[in-house]
Structure 1
Amino acid sequence: MRLQTMPFFYFFFAMAFGIVFADYLNPDMYLSLVLCLTVFVVFVAMQFFKFGPQSAINRVQFVLPLLVFFSLGMTLYQLETAQSDSFSIDKNYLPGDRIVGEVVSIAAGKTDFRKCEMDVKFIINYKDTLPARGRLLVFLEDPEREMKRKDMCLLKSELSSIVNSKNPGEFDSQSYWKHKSIHQSSFVSSDSYTKVGVAEWEIMDWFIGLREHFAAVLDTYLQGDENAVAKGLILGDRSSIDGEVTRKFGNTGAMHVLAVSGLHVAILVQILTFFFGLFSRWISKNQALLLALTVVWIYAALTGLSTSVVRSAWMFTILAGSTLLGRNYNGFNSLALSAVLILVWNPHFLYDIGFQLSYLAMIGIFLFNRNLSVLFYTKYKWIQAAWDGTMVGIAAQIMTIPLTLYYFHQFPNYFILTNLGLMVFSFLVLALGIALFSMSFFPPAAKLIAILLSFSMFLMLWIIDFVDALPGAVSAGFVLRFWEVVLLFALILGCYWAIQKQQLKVLFSVLVGALLWVGVLVFDRFSRMNQTQVCFLNTKEITFIVKQRDQNFCFFANKEGNTRKVAFAAGAYEKMFPGTMHYFEISQKKTSTLQCGNSRIYIERKRGGYQIEVNQTNYFVATSDHFQDPKGKVIYAPWLSAPNASYQLATGAIVFPAN
């Protein structure tokens, strides 16, 4: 690869390194800006003046653009994350102040508290109203579903920093919200906020309003999970999808179908190509290409401008531009250019899991799809199409495996079967969705299309349920460190290089290395599965898990009557320490004695906490500062402050070996 043939491939990595450098080392923002401008000026000057031998000039001209994009990445990231200006909410908010903010997104949800993101506009204290800047994660008590996007709210509530609970298998929510420029959250009761107006109209509101109109059409003709999944698949609105449905899609390797992605853009382009081809006598190829490009960007805006859709839209734009201008199209260079454009728009997307998986999937397709597709050929078009589609899925999975294991600690074993089943239905659902929206003004036709769409959704969900119910549908317990992720990528790329160069000895060495690594990974997973331990979780209710080899026993106090959060924390634990989970509620009885596998567990509810005995080892979980006669290790609940205590759940989960 040379800089002249694939410049943006190099520019992307330089920019990415600049963003990471700024994130971890936080250099002076003005220094980064000066460096970027200086290097750019020097590079431009070298295009007109010679400062030495041509060979030296060529080397410098190779390095300077990389330095430009490196410093550009630093500068953009620091500009995006700057918190030092005088209007920052972090600098101006004090406990007791009131906040005026705009609701920019709000989840449908089924609980009384609805999660929303709010742009802060003003802070009102006891003597003044101050302009403010920042975004909050707010949980509004809104059982009547009265609040909507664009509503202006006046609220009074205490803010708390978003921090991780540090439980095993927990999603890194702190980093996730940080890269959405959200650092604080608040739970707001219904009597602590009021609607004070509606924000001004913006151009994106038209697209969002159109999406809400289409969502209302789906609400009219579809119900239940079919309606919720159709909204996610067609419109990119996943707010009403049940958590159990999301879990099944994840376990079967079909999350890319559930979320609007490049797959949907590709299907849309195929539909548009067929549609405009019907009018080829009146619409030229270039006109059809421009019309398709317009529709693709409208669809990208309609579905919320997710990174995978924007990536696909940019790549299609570059392809269309190359066709219209008669230029050659380079897939890798176009992919890298789209990544650079997205990072210029928002450098925080570099840390977005969707961004990472989307681009790795495309790299896998570019590298491996052709070699895999030629392994089989048949004259039967449908069989060949099924094979080619399956190979695309496998090629994408090859490059995403390392990050899938790193972030989610599990692997869907039947992803090939799932993708085979959903290949046709993804096309049908999107095509029928577009047809339903187009014919919604004519109820008889809309009802007929809705019946076909509902049946397609039923079959799609049936396939997901069928695969999820198969024995061993998902393998959990994979825990990778960062260097192992890098090693796995090196092995994958080494395998590709050896195949391309036909270096059989190198290929054999890489495959042996990969086999050894897989062996170590499987052994580590087996060890985790067969551990015996007691883990006290950092949750709002007392929760602890006793693991006896492949059986996990979860004990919890459930005073609020909400088991969803307990199941969520226990499910995350199960990803790192696989086993069949059993649940036991402990707050209703004075004493409980259970035989869980080889472990005898005794639990007594006492004043100020719970006395727990596991295999003659005692633990006392303090739920208040006023407790008496604890036996064994004293563990303080997350809501207690005990600076000198050895075991505090507020700092994270605590694990003890259980013999």
Structure 2
Amino acid sequence: MKKQPLLILVIFFILGIFFQDTFSLNETYILTIAGIILLILASIFFKNYFLHRLKPYILCSMFFGVGIILHFLNTDENPVSVAGNHVITFKISGKLNSTEKSRKYEAVVQAENKIFKAIVYRPKIEKTLDFNHYYQAKAFISKPKAPQYDFQFDYSKYLKRKNIDFQCYINDEVHAAGRNDLSLKEKFYQKRWEVLKNIDHTHMSSKAKEFLKGIILADRTEIDVQTAQDFSRSGLVHFLAISGTHIVAIFGLFYFLLIKILPVKHKKYAIVSSLIFIWLFTAFIGFGSSVVRSSLMLSNYFIYVLLQRKSDLLHSLALSAFVILLSDTQQIFDVGFQLSFLAVLGIFWLNQPILNMLPKQDNWLKKVIFNTVSVSISAQLATLPLVLYYFHQFSFISIIANFFIVPFSEMIIMFSFLMTTLIAFNINFEYLNRLYEFIIDILLTIIHWFAGFNHVFFENIPLNLPEVFSLFLIVMLLRPVILKCNLKNFVRCMMAVIAFFILRWGFDLYEMNKSEVLVHDFSKNKVLSIKKNNDACFWIEENSDKSKIVKFVINPYCASRRIKRTEIRRLPNAVRKIVYKHKIYEIN
């Protein structure tokens, strides 16, 4: 508690959020907890030896209670009930990833004098919507359905965490009316939308345009499926996500320009101006958790520099997490938030020990190469348990891919930022467009090549929460082994490894002894699955899309049930009617 008080208090604050999310305490309990917190605050003013000794535990309890209360307040219980066809009036508040047929928008909707947040679907062939207008159209309103089975992604719960309860499907004409009540945030979003449209009008390949939108403006809504898959399979998705590398590169570029203009004695003004610019950029691209975390940590670091105090990475990380969660406790359940903070913790915990194991960095080139290797390995080891838990896939090629791509990332980010700035001001240099397109095409070709190593790519890797915590324990115990590989540290680490495999063997055995028959609803089709031991057979309809069923039904099922062997068969329509009449969901 004496070394990292803020980090420990934030951990208890997060535990309080998880506690409230699990048990959903009602208003009576919340008021009781609030009263206890007030008593704790009052006790701080009393000078008592016993209270002084208990102060650390009292503060931890208080932060735990604050986490419970804030999460209760951030959990919106929307009593609105509306469904079916309605005329809706809405304004968009965000742009989401498109589907094959539709563009998706997050919107504030009014229907039947009821106001609520919803996801609005509009056909891709129609004009894109902006923030400058109110819109009116006929739409079919429905609530997202909860999944049939535990292994499926709960989209309704995901939307609920964003206080979104409805989906609106528009297939009719949309009428627009201008707005003059845009908030400052919406003005930023509108300007970003205009820059995105300017990028669309440049003479570059579609892949180069989408890459530019993603790497600088955090807009991956229109990126093609193949490119997204290449980044995922090569372990380079973080390259597109706005993170610390992007913020540091953009800050460095702006700071470099300022110190060339301002006198040396005004260096602190260059730092302050650069930080203001970074926060304007953060607002411009939408306050994503990773970019807010990076901006907060960078700000904390340079505040320490300006105050001539030694910076503390864990203190900065804890403060960043606390500020983000104070504004929205639901952020803790965001995968990007979790991976972002874990990557930084991994770099703090493992980077220096791994770097010490590598050859001496006695020149600039060696420093760049070995730092890239150590940072990449540290971040990947720390995030690996959660990556396997959420995505059930991993590629060993990602380590090599990061080694080759990351050293050039800052140059690509700065070039992309320059291109975005020029395009934003309608300055168009054709030769720069062609050069950027050429470089990005080479980059995407290399990433596609890395993604093609199928023999080192593993998917449907089963992992549950007990196994995740067991893996985290192994990662924690790696540091003392690397720093001082004695018998004591080695045995501790190996005990954790053995415990993980015993735990995994137990879950494998439990699933192997289960047999079940399930009928899966997928779009307008049904899938019949029969599992026995580690084998599963899937019957799909003759007119169904096999690739989508594999991605959204078969792969999640195999990862959940620890299936080793699968078989897919086409089910004739005549047989389908007989099979699906019988609602058999589980056979022991």
What's the TM-score once normalised by structure 2's chain length? 0.87
Taking the aligned partners of 2:537 and 2:206, their CA distance within structure 1 comes to 32
The 5 A counterparts of 1:229-240 are 229-240=211-222
1:68 & 1:159 partners in 2: Cα distance? 42
Residues 96 and 106 in structure 2, CA contact (< 8 A), matched pair in contact too? no
Q: What is residue 543 of structure 2 aligned with on the other side?
A: 558
Rounded to whole Å, the distance in 2 between the matches of 1:283 and 1:550 is 71
Deviations 1:521-578 (A, max 9, x none): 599899999x99986432123353779999987733437xx77744542574487278
Alignment of 1:453-532 (within 5 A): 453-497=436-480, 504-514=487-497, 517=500
* One-letter code aligned to 1:387: F
Cα distance 1:556–1:443, how it changes in 2: closer, same or farther (>3 A)?
A: same
Once the 2 structures are TM-superposed, how far is the Cα of residue 329 of structure 1 from its aligned partner?
1.5
1:29 equivalent in structure 2: 27
Q: Separation in 2 of the partners of 1:186 and 1:438?
A: 35
Secondary structure at the counterpart of residue 379 of structure 2 = helix
Q: Which residue of 2 aligns with 1:640?
A: none
What residue in structure 2 maps to residue 249 of structure 1?
231
For 1:427, give the aligned amino acid: E
Q: Does 1:104 align with 2:93?
A: yes
SS of residue paired to 2:479 = helix
Alignment of 1:137-216 (within 5 A): 137-141=119-123, 143-166=125-148, 170-190=152-172, 194-195=175-176, 198=179, 200-216=181-197
CA contact (8 A) 1:217 1:437 kept: no
The amino acid of 1:119's aligned partner reads: V
1:276 and 1:283 in contact (8 A); partners too = no
- Compare 204-213 and 353-362 and name the one that shifted more: 204-213
Instruction: Give yes or no for contact 2:131–2:189 (8 Å, CA) kept in 1.
Output: no
1:447-484 alpha-carbon deviations (Å, 9 max, x no partner): 33323322221122112111111132421122112111
Deviations 1:94-134 (A, max 9, x none): 656544332222347474432221213x332xxxxx353x3
Aligned counterparts of 1:341 and 1:173: Cα–Cα separation in 2: 27
Residues 551 and 13 (structure 1), Cα distance of their counterparts in 2 relative to 1, 3 Å cut: closer
The aligned counterpart of 2:369 is 386
Q: CA separation in 2, counterparts of 1:409 and 1:164?
A: 21
Map 1:231-630; keep pairs closer than 5 Å.
Answer: 231-279=213-261, 281=263, 284-376=266-358, 377-440=360-423, 446-497=429-480, 504-514=487-497, 517=500, 536-544=519-527, 555-558=540-543, 565-566=548-549, 568-570=551-553, 572-573=555-556, 576=559, 603-606=571-574, 611=575, 621-622=576-577, 630=578
Between the aligned partners of 2:303 and 2:383, the Cα distance in structure 1 is 29
Shift of 1:290: 0.5
Shift of 1:437: 3.4
- The code of the aligned residue for 1:203 comes to L
Q: Using the alignment, how far apart are the partners of 2:194 and 2:91 within structure 1? A: 21
Determine helix, strand or coil for the equivalent of 2:310. coil
Q: Which runs of 5+ in 2 are unaligned?
A: none
Superposed CA offset, 1:127-180 (max 9, x none): xxx353x31123234622253345433345453332343468643323321211
Taking only the aligned residue pairs, the percentage that are identical comes to 22
1:123 paired with 2:111, answer yes
| Superposed CA offset, 1:368-399 (max 9, x none) | 00111122224342233122112101101111
More helix by share: 2
Is the contact between residue 195 and residue 423 of structure 2 (CA under 8 Å) also seen in structure 1? Answer: no
Distance 1:336 1:580 in 2: 44
State the structure with more CA Rg.
1
**SS, match of residue 467 in structure 2:** helix
- Shift in Å, 1:64: 2.5
Separation in structure 1 between the aligned mates of residue 292 and residue 376 of structure 2, nearest angstrom: 20
**Which residue of structure 2 aligns with residue 39 of structure 1?**
37
Q: Deviations over 1:207-233 (max 9, x none)?
A: 223323432343214222221122111
By how many angstroms is 1:280 displaced?
5.4
1:278 is paired with a residue whose SS is helix
Report the TM-score, using the length of structure 1 for normalisation. 0.78
Q: Which SS does the other structure have where 2:572 is aligned?
A: strand
Matched residue SS, 1:480? coil
Q: Distance in 1 between matches of 2:506 and 2:36?
A: 53
**CA 1:278 to 1:98, structure 2 compared with 1: closer, same or farther past 3 Å?**
same
Q: Deviations over 1:304-349 (max 9, x none)?
A: 2110110011111111221222233211011011101000010000
Distance 1:553 1:519 in 2: 30
Give the secondary structure class of the aligned counterpart of 2:394: strand
Closer, same or farther: CA 547–150 of 1 in aligned 2, 3 Å: farther
